[in-house]
Structure 1
């Protein structure tokens, strides 16, 4: 392990547990009545319901709309700090197939080609109907600094109002709760439990003929490792490496250590935002109930 530099802040911000605000089934921090977190399958169900509502709204506005690709449970497990599910690794590697599908959808989904084919004036109207107008926006100051905004109007806003009850309140709660990583990740980086687990994982990888100092090093070198390979070859190569990573992560408990630390430090960061955290969880559960009624 190359000291703390092998675990850069930006990487942990992005992929420490892949969906830190939900999907674990555990209670989040906060006082008062606690509502459980959603499972990954439940998150997907809400996203599908949102897309259904957006489609209905766009059709009322006079446009065609096709359901978008909604990430399933397996795809939502991609991007973790360390792969520690051997079966998942064997099947998906590092999620390259998900990346390829997302890129294909980004440029070739019917909604994209349809919108691009519209006359310029209709394309503007389509964009406003879908996304709303940022001149009329909800603005939130983030705990880590800076602000984010989202339009109050548009089909996305309408769909989220239908699901969560209050789009503005939902946006404020969600952005507050899900933007805390810069406040606690530096503490994780300094925790000896993480560096000890990474060192043990690295020794295991070296013994398996995969001399990597950290999972982050694999992520940095991932594309180079498969450069020049066919898609099938790249998937097989990454899958084999991911399986070894997962086996070592299980043997050394690196994945569990990362999750424990994330849960611990995130809970501390959430304490000043207990009201927003409770609102976030309750609105997600309300959205799930409404999604199931559609």
Structure 2
């Protein structure tokens, strides 16, 4: 699946985190018979499940005589290459309904928000479903190659991707509430690891796609709410003297077009000017505050609507956590 925007799969949405936190409290025993507690926090549970899935995948790849990709240094605790890259750029802050901090905007411009283009016209940013294959294919391409070049390297990458994700027609398919179709194979090492942890891979696939996209569903409903659209229209009128834009996402697109032929210093100055203008208009119109208030109500509606999938996802997570603890994964 190829899409322009992806919902992050690094963590569950805030709706899901509230649902699953602390739900798998308890202890298990590893293969050596030693007692090991199941972590209580949602983040620690996520880390354990990722670690367990990775261990099972690597074991499967080894059995299939395929060289596993290297494990990114510090990936479990956020100290790897990605975290280092983030430390070299603007501090990570979320502005789902437009930047509302003029001081931050003056220093960092759009910052991370430039990549996560805020509320886009007619839909929320991040409407695309999570795409684990796309992310893990990038990891697969980091496999050690030594002096391999050309066809040999390409063949090893293909073998690794096939072993990880499976081959042939993708048997699993589900449609997200925002309209995207997500597909996956059931014969790769990733599928085998998920069956070991969660029992039913097809069921886990459908539940996890639904749950991991709840934030996108909520955000989309907020940005289509008539109350939000009314405030957004006031924001558009406010920003017009700087740039004609219907929403913050369009403002960033306008900056990218204008910055294309500018020197880096000029492009940065223009970005900061646009970002400060965005923030001042967000403040003066209460756009971000309106979005946040609507999100609370919409999130509750979404959780109620998807209660069955959330509960199913929670039960399978709990099973996976128990197995991870029991087998020391």
TM category (shorter chain) comes to 0.5 to 0.7
2: CA distance, partners of 1:50 / 1:92: 39
Aligned to 2:311: 278
| Aligned partners of 1:184 and 1:266 also within 8 Å | yes
Residues 218/35 of structure 1: CA separation in 2 closer, same or farther (3 Å cut): same
Aligned to 1:65: 69
Matched length = 270
- Which residue among 4, 7, 20 is the counterpart of 1:35? 20
| Aligned partners of 2:70 and 2:142 also within 8 Å | yes
In the TM superposition, residue 219 of structure 1 has moved relative to its aligned partner by 3.3
Aligned to 2:14: 24
Question: After superposition, where does 1:82-161 map in structure 2 within 5 Å?
Answer: 82-84=98-100, 89=105, 90-91=107-108, 93-95=110-112, 110-111=142-143, 117-118=151-152, 122-135=156-169, 137-140=171-174, 142=176, 148-161=182-195
The DSSP-based 3-state class of the residue aligned with 1:242 is helix
- Aligned-residue CA RMSD in angstroms? 5.2
| Aligned partners of 2:197 and 2:320 also within 8 Å | yes
Question: After superposition, where does 1:195-234 map in structure 2 within 5 Å?
Answer: 195-205=229-239, 209=242, 212-231=245-264, 233-234=266-267
2: CA distance, partners of 1:115 / 1:48: 31
1: CA distance, partners of 2:249 / 2:212: 22
* Alignment gaps of 5+ in structure 1: 1-12, 29-33
The DSSP-based 3-state class of the residue aligned with 1:229 is coil
* CA-to-aligned-CA distance 1:82-101 (integer Å, 9 cap, x gap): 233557644362438969xx
Residues 65/14 of structure 1: CA separation in 2 closer, same or farther (3 Å cut): closer
| TM-score with structure 1 setting the length | 0.62
Aligned to 2:28: none
1: CA distance, partners of 2:46 / 2:276: 26
* CA-to-aligned-CA distance 1:54-100 (integer Å, 9 cap, x gap): 4554455331413467865889856845233557644362438969x
Residues 254/56 of structure 1: CA separation in 2 closer, same or farther (3 Å cut): farther
2: CA distance, partners of 1:43 / 1:238: 39
* CA-to-aligned-CA distance 1:17-65 (integer Å, 9 cap, x gap): 988x94436777xxxxx43499997698479637843455445533141
Structure with the bigger percentage of helix = 1
In the TM superposition, residue 260 of structure 1 has moved relative to its aligned partner by 3.4
* Alignment gaps of 5+ in structure 2: 23-39, 73-79, 117-133
Aligned to 1:10: none
2: CA distance, partners of 1:186 / 1:107: 30
2: CA distance, partners of 1:58 / 1:92: 44
| Aligned partners of 2:53 and 2:194 also within 8 Å | no
In the TM superposition, residue 223 of structure 1 has moved relative to its aligned partner by 1.6
Residues 97/274 of structure 1: CA separation in 2 closer, same or farther (3 Å cut): closer
Max radius of gyration: which structure?
2
Q: Runs (4+) of structure 1 moved beyond 6 Å?
A: 25-28, 37-44, 73-76, 96-99, 112-116, 180-186, 285-289
2: CA distance, partners of 1:182 / 1:149: 18
The DSSP-based 3-state class of the residue aligned with 1:49 is helix
| Aligned partners of 1:176 and 1:276 also within 8 Å | yes
Residues 224/155 of structure 1: CA separation in 2 closer, same or farther (3 Å cut): same
Aligned to 2:120: none
The DSSP-based 3-state class of the residue aligned with 1:62 is coil
The DSSP-based 3-state class of the residue aligned with 2:167 is coil
In the TM superposition, residue 273 of structure 1 has moved relative to its aligned partner by 3.1
In the TM superposition, residue 221 of structure 1 has moved relative to its aligned partner by 1.4
